[in-house]
Amino acid sequence: MTSDLPLSLRLYRGVSAALTPAAGILIRQRLKQGKEDAARIDERKGISALARPPGPLVWVHGASVGEILAAAALIEHLRAMGISIVLTSGTATSAGIASRRFPPGVIHQFIPYDSPRFVARFLDHWQPSFGLFIESDLWPNLVMASNERRIPIIIINGRMSPRSYRRWKKAPRTIGALLGAFDMCLAQSDGDADRFASLGSPHVFTTGNLKFDEPPPSGDPVKLDRLNAMVRGRPIVVAASTHPGEDEILIDAHRRLANYFTALLTIIVPRHPQRGADIEALVEQAELRPALRSRGELPTAQTDIYVADTMGELGLFYRMTPVVFMGGSLVEHGGQNPIEAIKLGAAVVHGPHVTNFADTYEQLDNHGGARMVENSEMLVRQIGQWLADDPERQRASAAGLKVVRSLGGALDRTLAALEPYLLQLRLESATDA
C-alpha cells in the first residue's frame, strides 16, 4: 500500500516517525493536565502489561465515552460468543467507564500515539483477528498499518457530519486512501452512508445508530432518592451537556420562568465538568443562588440553579425531570445526542445547531417528540408551555419514545453484516480445538 499512498500520508508517516522521540514531552504535558493515567503510560507507546488471550480476538476502537457506550451492546454480544475483546480509546474517562461497564474478557487499552513504531508494537502484541472502528476516529498510521498487515478493519456506527464531509472534500486523495483501507463501512443513516461513499468508502451499508439499541443510562437509586427528597414538589428542568455561550441563556430563561413557576429548579449539566465554577459565577452574577455538585452540595429549597459538574450522572438527572434542553445546539457545536433523555421519558427542547445528529432530530421534530427553538424567547415559551401543560408534555414524550423505538434494530443489522467475519472466527476456533 505504501507506494500507492498520496503524498500527504507519506509525509504524515515520515513526520510522525521523526517525532517519536519527542513523545515523552507530550506525555509529561498531558500528565500535568490530568489527561493521562501515570500507571498506564506504556500503553501510549504500544506496550501492554497484559498478555494476549489465546484464540480469536476482536479489536474495537472508539475515541471516547460516547463511542464506547454506543457499541456496548455489540461488545457484550461478541463477548457472550466467547470472543476476547481488546477495547481501545483515547481518554482517561473512557477507561474508567470501560472498567465498570464491561465483563471479564473485555480488555481496555489506551490507543497508542499514532507513531509507526508505537502502532507496530500494539499490532504485534495483540494480533487482532479484525478491527471495528466506531464512528470515524481515523488515525492514519493505525489504519495504514492494519491494512498493510491484512487485518480486516470495518467502520461501525459510522458517522460523517456535513461539516467533516466538507473539510475532507478538500483532501480527496487523503481521505480516499484512508477510507479505502477499510473492508466495509456500516453507517448510521443514509446521509452518512452517502457521504462516506462519496469520499471513497467501499461497501457502504446503512445499518442504523447503535445508540438507539442501548438501554438508558443507569442512576444510583440511593443518590436518586436523596436528590428527589431534596426537590420534592418542585418543577424541574435539566439542561444537559451545555457548552459555553448557552449557560447565560439558560440562566436568563430560569429567571424569566421563575416569575410563573416560583419553585422552579434548573439543573445545568455542563458537557465539560471543569466549567462548573465558571457557571456558578454566572449564576451569582445574575443574583441567583447556585449549588455545586462537585463540592458535594445538594439542592436546597433556596437553590435556584444546581450545577451538576460531575461525570457519569446524567442518568440521575434525566430521571428527575419531565423536560430536557439538549446542549450544544444554541451555539454552533452541532448538538448532543437526545436518545438517552427520551428513553427516560423526557420531552426534549433543542436549538437549531444539531448537524451532528441531524437525522435523529429531524425525525423527532417531525413527529412531535422534540421541539426546536431558535432563540431565548422561544426557549422560555416552549419550556413554559410544557411545565404548564403536562398532558401536552406527555404527548411529546410518547411521540419521542415511538420515534426512538422505530429507529432501533441497528445491533441486529450490524451483527448480520459482520457474520462473514464472525463465521471465520468460529472456523478458526474449531480448527484450533
In a domain, 231, yes or no: yes
The answer on pLDDT for 236 being more than 60 is yes
Q: Examine the domain organization and report whether 226 and 245 are in the same domain.
A: yes
What pLDDT, on a 0 to 100 scale, did the predictor assign at position 220? 94
What pLDDT, on a 0 to 100 scale, did the predictor assign at position 193? 97
Q: Examine the domain organization and report whether 157 and 263 are in the same domain.
A: no
pLDDT tier for residue 427 given thresholds of 50, 70 and 90: confident
What pLDDT, on a 0 to 100 scale, did the predictor assign at position 2? 56
In a domain, 160, yes or no: yes
Q: Which residues contact 178 (CB under 8 A, 6 or more apart)?
A: 9, 138, 140, 143, 144
pLDDT in tens, 95-129: 888 888 888 889 999 999 999 999 999 999 999 99
pLDDT in tens, 294-323: 999 999 999 999 999 998 899 999 999 999
Q: Which residues contact 392 (CB under 8 A, 6 or more apart)?
A: 385, 386
In a domain, 106, yes or no: yes
Hey, what's the cell of 347? 420531552
| Start-to-end C-alpha separation, the chain | 34
What pLDDT, on a 0 to 100 scale, did the predictor assign at position 167? 95
pLDDT in tens, 187-234: 999 999 999 999 999 999 999 999 999 888 889 999 999 999 999 999
Number of folded domains in the chain?
Answer: 2
pLDDT in tens, 276-299: 999 999 999 999 999 999 999 999
**Coarse DSSP helix, strand, coil percentages of the chain, rounded to the nearest 5 percent:** 50, 15, 35
In a domain, 123, yes or no: yes
Comparing 117-126, 248-257, 357-366, which segment has the lowest mean pLDDT?
357-366
Q: For residue 164, which of 190, 187, 136 has the smallest C-alpha distance?
A: 136
Instruction: Tell me which residue range forms the domain holding 333.
Output: 221-406
Work out the angle at residue 137's Cα, subtended by the Cα atoms of residues 136 and 143, and round it to the nearest 5 degrees.
100
**Coil, helix or strand at residue 50:** coil
What pLDDT, on a 0 to 100 scale, did the predictor assign at position 66? 84
User: What is the residue-averaged pLDDT of the chain?
Assistant: 94
Q: Which is catalytic among the residues 67, 214, 280, 313?
A: 67
Q: Which residue has the cell 437526545?
A: 338
pLDDT in tens, 55-64: 999 999 999 8
In a domain, 375, yes or no: yes
Instruction: Work out the average pLDDT over 325-331.
Output: 97
What pLDDT, on a 0 to 100 scale, did the predictor assign at position 159? 93
Whole-prediction pTM:
0.84
Q: Examine the domain organization and report whether 78 and 56 are in the same domain.
A: yes
Q: Which CATH number goes with the domain that contains 31? A: 3.40.50.11720
pLDDT in tens, 75-92: 999 999 999 999 999 988
287 as an active site residue: the answer is no
Residue type, 125: H
In a domain, 349, yes or no: yes
Sign of the four-CA dihedral 338, 340, 342, 346: negative
Q: Examine the domain organization and report whether 424 and 399 are in the same domain.
A: no
Q: Examine the domain organization and report whether 280 and 427 are in the same domain.
A: no
Tell me the percentage of the chain whose pLDDT exceeds 70: 99
The answer on pLDDT for 1 being more than 70 is no
pLDDT tier for residue 359 given thresholds of 50, 70 and 90: confident
In a domain, 203, yes or no: yes
d(C-alpha 311, C-alpha 93), whole Å: 8
Q: Examine the domain organization and report whether 289 and 336 are in the same domain.
A: yes
What pLDDT, on a 0 to 100 scale, did the predictor assign at position 433? 59
In a domain, 215, yes or no: no
Q: Which CATH number goes with the domain that contains 284? A: 3.40.50.2000
Q: Examine the domain organization and report whether 277 and 377 are in the same domain.
A: yes
What pLDDT, on a 0 to 100 scale, did the predictor assign at position 64? 87
pLDDT tier for residue 51 given thresholds of 50, 70 and 90: very high
What pLDDT, on a 0 to 100 scale, did the predictor assign at position 338? 96
Q: Are 1 and 144 contacting, i.e. CB atoms less than 8 angstroms apart?
A: yes
